[in-house]
Chain A
Amino acid sequence: MNNIKQDHASASTEFNKDEAHVDWHDETLWFVRSKRDKAVFQIPEWEQLREAGSQIKNHVLSNMHDYLVEFEKKATENGIKIHWAADGQEHNEIVYSIIKNEGVNRMVKSKSMLTEECHLNEFLKEKGVEVIDSDLGERIVQMRQEPPSHIVLPAIHLKRAEVGETFHQHLGTEKGATDPQYLTEAARQHLRDTFLSRKVALTGVNFAIAETGGFVVCTNEGNADMGVHLADVHIASMGFEKIIPKVEHLGVFLRLLARSATGQPITTFSSHFHKPRAGQKMHIIIVDNGRTKQLGRPDFRNSLKCIRCAACFNTCPVYRRSGGHSYHTAIAGPIGSILAPNLDMARNADLPFASTLCGSCSNVCPVKIDIHEQLYKWRQVLVQEGHVSSVKSLGIKSMSTILSSPSFYRTAGKLGRFLMKNSPFMTNNNLNVWYQHRDMPDVPKESFREWFIREKGGK
């Protein structure tokens, strides 16, 4: 995997140079979180619904093999071609071979975070295949040659003026135009041409149902349907964890997903696909790409319950103020920070530390992933596996020595409040960093312990 340009902390420092923009970003996402709150508080049984979602997913994780086999069998009976991809590369090659087989060099794609994870667009570009993302937000970031910064709202880091400028450059809209209606209409016209001229359409999968071999794709723009209804070939890419056992379970997940994602009671389009229509070909690519490995990690396996609603992003006080790109991984935010180290520990060692462990993510998660606990556990793993700098290790080790010994601690304290310099959070003599924007408390005349001994005679 590529090396990262900047770690989370430096990228965030960069992002925070424009404080007004950070405020806007924070408030925009907080608004989504508030909408989610309003929507879920209308459902008295919300917490039971989360519990049900979580239990179903846990059950699937424990019976993955059986459900995948069942799904493959049913889908094949329905006339869908199933492909298995061990990793991103294999996934991309399968997609390419299907496109090549059709004798075309263009494809339309609705939102699929999995293809971001596999870097499909870059791969196909190199092969001379043009991919147009049909989700509006995806299209915007694609034109700007940026990755999405959010899994539900890919262009949420951009203000209207920036979108206007992008459209001006790429779609020839008027310079300086920011009217959303005007801009959306321009995008719509441009995408309409794309839809009409593409023979191959790729979609993601939100839920794949083992008992029927069908799958559901949720969008708000209807772009997935538009793409596949007009195309001769429909490719659906899914991570294997998208499986749910029965159709009736959709009643749990569709309710959880839309409310958690955007505060809507249901996504505008929940499209159910079961078999290719006459004359159409349908492929499903089931991707592993590290998921088996994650499934084998007892502490982290339940991160695979994720239904990609992004509620954890919207509630995360760090994400709201650092922006999605600071996470340098396809899936940003709290969930990204527990998924990414599984794929590449060295590259993503900074991410589990990009959190205050406030726990809000775990509370909003519709499938009850203990995200903040996994962040804590990844920290332990990353240190044990040697992915934390030796300077930091040294600082922590000496701190640990002092704090493990009452006499050291007391002597250190007497020698001028050692915590001033070696305070636990000042590892590595980071006092200067603290001082950039904060003062330290005044040093008291005596410590509590000294007061206690003086006042109470040490008893």
Chain B
Amino acid sequence: MKVALFIPCYIDQFYPQVGIATLQLLEKLGCEVIFPLNQTCCGQPMANSGFEHLNKDCDNNFVENFKDFDYIVSPSGSCTLHVKEHLHGSDEQASTHIRKHLYELSEFLTDILKVESLSVQFPHRVGLHQSCHGQRGLKLAQMSELVAKPFSKTEHLLNMVDGLSLMELDRKDECCGFGGTFCVTEEAISVKMGKDRISDHTRHTVEYITGTDVSCLMHLEGILKRQGSAIKVKHIAEILNG
């Protein structure tokens, strides 16, 4: 299966190891992975700040890079959601095609590759940070607000990892406070939300916080480091790739 990899700008620049793990994992699972070299960004930072109207060129570039693929995979729930909801390049047909064929990594592993087992180990206590856009937007997991049957694609995958113990949290889907530009325009609340998320993980003695979004993890990691905490963050791709 031919898969195009969409690596959001944060990952490209700050967390290349997440891109590498995603690529290796997909290859291990038998995919032929292509990385269109001229990709840049999904346009979300502009759009969430109210500047969606400036995104035409960015959208066109995205379409140009990905229009020829039937499977596009990205290790970011937030960027994936943005593209799925808001990508409108000049070529509307190609844009629609992309919107329908873009998958967040854990969604792709679960729904398309239908992965049921993985031979990896991670003998640690892990807390899952269920990022809002992946969860409420892409429905990677059931939302605590809804009266509906529970499920979680991310937990299902993590449970395949040998030795990994997933720790229960008090608030299993509370936002971490990253929120794009919110993290600096509303610094006080953003940091407080991050600290509160971390306390929940700390109370439950996790060694690693994992998740599907590097942006949330970067925010949490920034606070953890400042606190001198021993808790580390790892993107889910890094754990699943072993």
Contact = CB atoms under 8 A, between A and B. Distances in A.
Interface of A: 8-9, 12-13, 15-16, 19, 22, 26, 30, 37, 40-41, 43-44, 46-47, 315, 317-318, 321-322, 353-360, 362-364, 376, 379-384, 388, 392-393, 396-397, 399-400, 402-406, 409, 413, 417-420, 423-427, 430, 433-434, 436-441, 443-444, 446-453, 456, 458-459
A436 B186 CA distance: 12
Contact of B186 (A9, A37, A456): A9
Contacts of B136: 358-360, 362-363
Interface in B38-82: 38-41, 43-55, 57-58, 60-61
A419 B214 CA distance: 14
Interface residues of B, number: 79
B191 interface: yes
Contacts of A438: 191, 194, 219, 222-223, 225-226
A452 B144 CA distance: 39
A318 B194 CA distance: 11
B145 A380 contact: no
B39 A406 contact: yes
A396 B17 CA distance: 28
Interface stretch (B109-117, B119-127, B176-184, B202-210): B176-184
Given A12-B189, A318-B189, A379-B49, A448 B12 contact: yes
Contacts of B184: 425-427, 430, 433-434
A400 B58 contact: yes
B12 A321 contact: no
Nearest to B143: A363
B12 A447 contact: yes
A450 B7 CA distance: 13
B146 A360 contact: no
A403 B41 contact: yes
A400 B55 CA distance: 7
A400 B54 contact: yes
Contacts of A388: 49-50
Contacts of B133: 357, 359
B100 interface: no
Interface in B139-157: 143-148
Given A321-B192, A403-B9, A434-B222, A355 B182 contact: yes
11 contacts: A355-B179, A356-B178, A359-B136, A379-B50, A396-B46, A417-B14, A418-B13, A440-B14, A443-B14, A451-B19, A452-B35
Nearest to B17: A444
Contacts of A9: 185-189
Given A353-B185, A383-B51, A405-B61, A360 B145 contact: yes
A430 B181 CA distance: 9
Interface of A, secondary structure class, is helix
A402 B226 CA distance: 30
Given A12-B189, A19-B192, A404 B58 contact: yes
B179 A44 contact: no
Residue among B180, B183, B188, B190 with most chain A CB within 10 A = B188
Contacts of A436: 187, 191
Contacts of A380: 47, 50-53
A398 B34 CA distance: 29
A441 B145 contact: no
A388 B58 CA distance: 21
B76 to A, nearest CB: 12
B175 A356 contact: yes
A439 B7 CA distance: 23
A317 B193 CA distance: 7
B54 A396 contact: yes
B50 A405 contact: no
Contacts of A358: 132, 136, 175, 179
Contact of A41 (B15, B147, B186, B218): B147
Given A317-B177, A405-B40, A359 B132 contact: yes
B86 to A, nearest CB: 9
B238 interface: no
Given A356-B177, A379-B49, A425-B183, A439 B13 contact: no
A413 B41 CA distance: 13
